[in-house]
Structure 1
Amino acid sequence: MPLPPSPVAREHVHTRSMRVNAYARDDGQWDLEAELIDVKGYDFPKSGGAIHKAGQPVHHMHLRLTITEDFTITDAVAAYDAAPYNEYCSSIAPDYKDMVGMNLLRGFRQAVKARFARTEGCTHLSELSYILPTAAVQTMAGRRRKQAESDASQAEQGDKPARRPFHIEGCHALRVDSPMTLKFYPQWYVKPGSDTEPGTTEPGGATSAG
């Protein structure tokens, strides 16, 4: 459901939009293509006397990361369509190739902060990258579904899978004692108050993105 109407009159001043499209590649890897757009709700003067119109992007940038099945980045490409300082902003784009080798689910945000801090990077590109770990998890949803089906088949045969899916215990809805875990992952369900060991989490859990 949408947010309730504001109880106080207000004026729109800024909109930030972020979008991620994910693609399965023929070589077995995945592309995550992220886009950030900032627009103002008012006209304002730019240096030199030109007027920046309301709704015209102040920032418009793109970041594509190519990842393997274990969420390791094998390629990174950044590009700019709009930035306040034009080529002085966009000149940092090639540096984001240094994301290659990082893993989206293993301290990724901290690695980005360390490599692209302050003058070493673009604030907006770095912020755009922060949404990609959870987007990557969603991208792998089909693979996880197949794994869940395999786990269920093993459970029916009396065998418990060696690794617990990493999204269990990753949010409040999928606590090990949650009704949702009981319904969708009964083999990993633990009754509230039980001392039973719930299992071993699959390496690379979403909560370790940093």
Structure 2
Amino acid sequence: MIGRIRGILIEKAPGHALVECSGLGYEVDIPYTTFFHLPETGQEVTLHTHFAVREDAQSLYGFASRLDRNLFRLLIKVNGVGPKLAVGILSGLDAQQFIRCVEARDVSALVKLPGVGKKTAERLLIDMTDRIGQLEGQFTPTVPGSATPGGSTTAPAASHDARDEAEAALIALGYKPQEAAKAISKVAEPDMTSEALIRLALRNMIPAG
């Protein structure tokens, strides 16, 4: 089991990171909440990981915090929730936001996540209520929402390319093209990077409970 990886961030994109460690490049699938915390490429990064082996594939999932990784492991134990859906859930809500939804029995916030229907949301609330206790003592301070990923203050001005990248990222997450375009248009302002557009769009689409 690969539980953590520390190395140089070679590439990053919404949902994906490439980390070089001891001469090897590890392709890591990541939720968007982790993508927002990645440093600039060329800098050192540490990810808490889960290694999944199936008959047809081997995948390494990475998370900014141990809490997010451990919640991911609990989510994939829920009937009907696989790694892809678990990553989608943690792309819209970080661990602490998800836990608040469970504690508040907030079905409405969960059904706004792509791939999560009402039945799945209700199953998550039922199954995760008891399992949440396994995460006690693991809460750690998270980077405030005002912190920008990878020093985006020096990023170039927003452009059609930034908007296109942000829309493509939301579509890859599971939103319909029309939903993605509408969400991006609502938050788009001058001098915004694709990372900032994605962050704000997700925040508006899935408000914190």
Per the normalisation by structure 2, the TM-score is: 0.26
Per the normalisation by structure 1, the TM-score is: 0.26
Relative contact order (C-alpha < 8 Å, sep 6+): which is higher?
Answer: 2
